[in-house]
Amino acid sequence: MTSRQAVEREVLARLLSVRDVGVLHRRLLGLRLLGVGNKQFSGDNASAFRAIVALASVGERVDVEAVAHQAGGDADYLTWITTAYRSATPLATLAAALLDVERRARVDSIGRTLINAVGDPAGDVDRAVAAAVGALRRLARRAA
């Protein structure tokens, strides 16, 4: 299984490798349509993704230096991503992997909440189960 950080970095590497503004806009639109946005990225990767979107939206050049400047981050980190995380994996596959990692994290969180509610003698188990079932149904609707 691929780690969340690795998938985030692969997506960023794919976006940073685009030289044609039209292609970049289509890739960003495709990610948005698939449900991938800033909230799927963490830390420096989120800052870099926001910078790419911001630069592309005003038609500015999107490269390592411009993204690092916009994000207030480290150009060395972004250079490393573009060289270490080049792959032929389709962007849609990477987006699905990123969303799947997020879904698994939510399901794990729901499971921990249920375990804690059942283990706590003063806990409201019925309410915890109802909340967990509702959260699982929302996840299922989003996945469909």
Q: Can you give the pLDDT at residue 92?
A: 83
Task: Please enumerate in sequence order all residues whose Cβ is within 8 A of that of 131, keeping only pairs 6 or more positions apart, or say none.
Answer: 113
Which pair of structure tokens corresponds to residue 41? 């990225």
Q: What is the mean pLDDT of residues 35-48?
A: 84
Query: What's the rounded Cα separation, in Å, for the pair 115 and 113?
Result: 6
Per residue in 10-34, pLDDT (tens digit) is: 999 999 988 888 888 888 888 888 7
Q: Can you give the pLDDT at residue 1?
A: 38
Q: What is the mean pLDDT of residues 39-50?
A: 87
- Most confident of the ranges 32-46, 65-79, 97-111, 114-128: 65-79
DSSP state of 40: G
Q: What is the mean pLDDT of residues 82-90?
A: 85
pLDDT at 4 over 60: yes
Instruction: Tell the residue number behind the tokens 């509610």, with chain if given.
Output: 117
Q: Can you give the pLDDT at residue 121?
A: 67
Which of 76 and 116 is assigned the larger pLDDT? 76
Please report which confidence band the pLDDT of residue 65 belongs to, taking 50, 70 and 90 as the band edges.
Answer: very high
pLDDT at 122 over 70: no
- Residue 77's domain comprises 4-143
CATH code (residue 125): 1.10.860.10
If one counts the domains in the chain, the total is 1
For the chain, the helix, strand and coil percentages under 3-state DSSP, each to the nearest 5: 75, 0, 25
The pTM for the full model equals 0.67
